[in-house]
A = this chain, B = another copy of it.
Amino acid sequence: MERAEPTRGRRKAEHMADTREALVAAGATLFASRGYAATGTEDIVSSARVTRGALYHHFSDKADLFRAVMERSARDMAQRLIEQETARAEAHPEYDAWTTLRLGFQSFLDACADPSFQRIVLIEGPAVLGHSIWDSLVDQHGYVLLAEVLTKAMQEGSIDALAVQPLTRMLAALISEASLYIARAQDQARAREETGDALDRILAGLERRPA
């Protein structure tokens, strides 16, 4: 995607990238704390120390900036999960797909605790971007990982064969809602435990059964 610029053009290109990144970072902070509608474009550009002209030069409109913000948030989340996944695979090569699945889901649940991710990706995202854009973003960055793990578990025979695509999204929604429930609970430690238990029990329904 990123084409190598001629050496002369580097300085300018980097400066431009900086500006864009500053806008996305400012948008991420403000959208996450105040929400999309309550955040004015002037708030964003003043936080990024540019003007509204820069914003509308880099993005087609406010929603387009939000799209970039959500994409970054989703990408970061996927990156974190992949790192945890590979680290676990290295540390415990003996784990089978079923164990990996269960542990991975608990990791996902914990990672979703991030308030910025919750607000931007889970709450505002669907309303601001609409389902087609939101779906494409989550497909790219989020579901691929989940679907991969599920497919592997099916191939190993640790869970029964089901349609991977709907199952992926249903389980992702399950974990997402669980993370929101935990975040809003008075006793978060207890909520974490209870949702974790429920998640494990629900996953057990997918376990391969004797015919």
Contact = CB atoms under 8 A, between A and B. Distances in A.
Nearest to A160: B201
A198 B169 CA distance: 11
Q: What DSSP secondary structure best describes chain A's contact surface? A: helix
Copy number of this protein in the oligomer? 2
A123 B36 CA distance: 14
Given A173-B174, A201-B206, A204-B205, A166 B180 contact: no
Contact of A203 (B36, B198, B205): B205
A195 to B, nearest CB: 5
A45 to B, nearest CB: 21
B163 A169 contact: no
Nearest to A204: B205
A170 interface: yes
Interface string A178-211: 1011001000000100110111011111110000
Nearest to A209: B204
5 contacts: A123-B127, A162-B197, A169-B181, A173-B177, A201-B205
